[in-house]
Amino acid sequence: MKQRSLFDVISPIMTGPSSSHTAGAVRLGMLVRNIYAGRVRNVVFKLYNSYASAGKGHGSDKALLAGLLGCKVDSPDIKNIFNLPASQDIKYSFEFEQNLDRHPNAVDFILEGERNMIVSGNSVGAGNVEITKIDDFAVKISGEYNAIILFYKDKPGMISKVSTFIQNENINIASLECDRNAKGKIASMCICVDGQIPQSIINNIQNIDDVYFVRNIKKLED
Amino acid sequence: MEYTFNTFDKLLDICGSENKKIYEVMQEKEACDFELDINTVRNKVLRNINAMKSAVKQGLNSDEKSLSGLCGDDCLKLKEKYKKNKALFGSLYEKITLYALATMEENLRMNKIVACPTAGSCAIVPSVIIALSEEKNISEEEQINLLITAGTIGYIISSKVAMAGAVAGCQAECGVASAMSAAAAVQALGGNEKQIINAAALALKNILGLTCDPVAGLVEIPCVKRNVFLAIHAITAAELSLAGITSKIPPDEVVDAMLQTGQLMSPLLKETSQGGLAVTKSGIIISKELNKRN
């Protein structure tokens, strides 16, 4: 559970007008930027439900793109992002859909570039967000913690191998979640930790046999 | 110090037994919980105050419209009015109303504001604290104290009620902001810790049932003007409390009532834009026209 803070009440300093529809959208973009960790050539943002109906009026479209391009929630660039040089190197488009199976403020990022990837997330209120899916894998990344995410071949011993590298650096694990699409096929692991994640851990995990993908997803700073 | 409190009663107990002010307890708690020193906490608060002041300053001189084009020029209208005819209630009233409009209009122009507690209620606390500080020559250090006290009120309320219109209607946004401001105002005017909490309770009691029914789902109608009204509302609560008028329902029980009222409130009136002002004839026309533009 999240430690409650005075600054949950009197923050963030942000570009208006809505914490869920503007600041939350920027933060989703920032997290997806960290997850993709490469140059995006083309992105389709698919906005659902309230994000679809009230998103444009709250600048959610601008905020999502700005976050993906590395803007923070208080950046003055968000407002004019469509006209800035940074957004000229990337192709982007928006789709809007009502779908009650999805969260009221859900977004899919359909990304093309160094690789194809689809990332889904929700803006859950007061600027807080969660990434719920990377490609076909359920994940849970809120940006409150530094996190390691990896995809690998589902087989015994993987959790132990990965956690040993983390333990060797004396890093405390706050949460750990796994998912897989079928026994023996591709699995995912999402580990949130206290403190920083050194690159050496990522390199070590990358070198484990049958690890296909690993990322160090930095926590969001306002 | 490691303090734990989720109720006003507990906070007042700590203040009494430790002989400390509310802001002192809160800043020590924040420092302890997040392994910071108190100055770091206070500097963070100061950054927020400075951002609030910048928003007011910029908003006072702009008539740029919001993305929707519905709002954005009201602050200048009010400024012109006060130039011609001073406000009946004097300069503090003028400043609070102007600063609240300025901040809210900056918010919907997609400029920089401080969510306090939310973006939709971002103008209430700054307008009260900044206007009072100017009128009463309150030092920067004391302004930090005021914002910490205001934040403490929101901190306690949010341990029971999430600060989101979708959860408890506008009670939980502008209502909480008004209670936070009432507390800060009492402190600025020399009230004691009990009066500070009591003012928050008085303010909160008077907004129970406040719904969240924004037209076209935007933080504009009625949010912009509501911020102005609820900033003034905070001053009324502060005056009553400073007179020794107490809430006959204790502060923690008022929060319980707010939570229950939020639970009983129809989802149609909780940030879904499916009831109230949003579905009036004119509300629907505005919404349809905006959708056409999209």
Most confident of A151-155, B32-36, B77-81: B77-81
- Residue B82 inside a domain? The answer is yes
Are B119 and A53 an interchain contact pair (Cβ–Cβ within 8 Å)?
A: no
Residues 6 or more apart whose CB falls under 8 angstroms from that of B3 comprise: B14, B25, B28, B29, B32
B65-91: average pLDDT: 95
Chain A nearest CA to B29, separation (Å): 9
* pLDDT (0 to 100) of residue B182: 98
- Chain B CB contacts of A57 under 8 Å are 67-68, 216-218, 220, 290
Of A12-21, A48-57, B2-11, B142-151, the range with the lowest mean pLDDT is A48-57
> CB distance A17–B120 less than 8 Å?
yes
pTM of the model: 0.91
Query: Complex ipTM, two decimals?
Result: 0.94
Q: pLDDT tens, A28-37?
A: 999 999 999 8
| Inter-chain residue contact A79 with B273, CB threshold 8 Å | no
Asked if residue B118 has pLDDT above 60, the reply is yes
Q: Name the residue range of residue B128's domain.
A: 20-293
The model's confidence at residue A173, banded by pLDDT at 50, 70 and 90, is very high
Whole-number pLDDT of residue B162 = 86
pLDDT of residue B143: 98
Q: How high is the pLDDT of residue A18? A: 92
Q: State which residue of chain B sits closest to A23, comparing Cα positions.
A: B119
- A15 contacts B154? CB cut-off 8 A: no
Is residue B10 domain-resident?
no
Q: Pick from A54, A56, A126: which is nearest to B118 by CB?
A: A126
Which comes out higher in pLDDT, residue A185 or A14? A14
CB contact under 8 A, A57 and B44: no
Indicate whether B13 belongs to any domain: no
Residue B3 lies in a domain: no
* Contact yes or no for A13 and B33 at CB 8 A: no
Average pLDDT over residues B193-204: 98
Residue ranges matching CATH 3.30.70.260 in chain A: 146-217
Provide the chain B residues 219-258 that lie in CB contact (below 8 A) with chain A.
219-220
| Residues A129-155 pLDDT 10s | 999 999 988 888 999 899 999 999 999
| B15 assigned to some structural domain | no
CATH of the domain at B64: 1.10.4100
Q: What is the CATH code of the structural domain delimited by A11-135? A: 3.30.1330.90
Q: What is the pLDDT of residue B3?
A: 94
Question: Does domain A146-217 bear CATH number 3.30.70.260?
Answer: yes
Q: Please state the domain count of chain B.
A: 1
Domain presence at residue B6: no
The interface residues of chain B toward chain A in range 125-164, judged by CB-CB distance below 8 A, are: 125, 147-148, 150-152, 154-155, 158-159, 162-164
Tens digit of pLDDT for each residue in A68-87? Answer: 999 999 999 999 999 999 89
Mean of the per-residue pLDDT values for chain A?
Answer: 92
Identify the band that residue A54 occupies on the pLDDT scale cut at 50, 70 and 90.
confident
Across the interface, whether the CB atoms of B34 and A3 are under 8 A apart is answered yes
Report yes or no on B158 lying in a domain: yes
Give the pLDDT band of residue B292 (cuts 50, 70, 90). Answer: confident
Q: Could you tell me if A195 lies within 8 Å of chain B, comparing CB atoms?
A: no
8 A C-beta contact, residue A65 and residue A45: yes
B294: confidence class by pLDDT, cuts 50, 70, 90: low
Q: The sheet that has A91-97: what strands, in order across it?
A: A91-97, A40-48, A106-113, A117-125, A128-134, A137-141
DSSP 3-state percent helix, strand, coil across chain A (nearest 5): 30, 35, 35
Q: Among A13, A71, A81, which would you mutate to test the B interface (most chain B Cβ atoms within 10 Å of its Cβ)?
A: A13
| A15, pLDDT greater than 70 | yes
Q: How many CB pairs under 8 A join A and B?
A: 138
Task: Record the tokens describing residue A207, joined without a space.
Answer: 């070198």
- Asked whether residue A126 carries a pLDDT value surpassing 90, the answer given is no
Mean pLDDT to the nearest integer, A171-179: 91
Q: What average pLDDT does this structure show over B280-290?
A: 94
Q: Is the pLDDT of residue A1 over 60?
A: no
Question: Edge-to-edge, what's the strand order for the sheet holding A173-180?
Answer: A173-180, A186-193, A146-153, A211-217
pLDDT confidence of residue B165: 85
Specify the DSSP class assigned to residue B84: H
Q: Does B76 touch chain A (CB under 8 A)?
A: no
Q: Map B212-226 to HEC letters.
A: ECCHHHCCCCCHHHH
pLDDT of residue B21: 98
pLDDT (0 to 100) of residue B272: 84
CATH 3.30.1330.90 residue window(s) in chain A: 11-135
Mean pLDDT value across residues B174-201: 98
A79 contacts in B (CB within 8 Å)? 109-111
When computed from its CA atoms, the radius of gyration of chain B, rounded to whole angstroms, is: 19
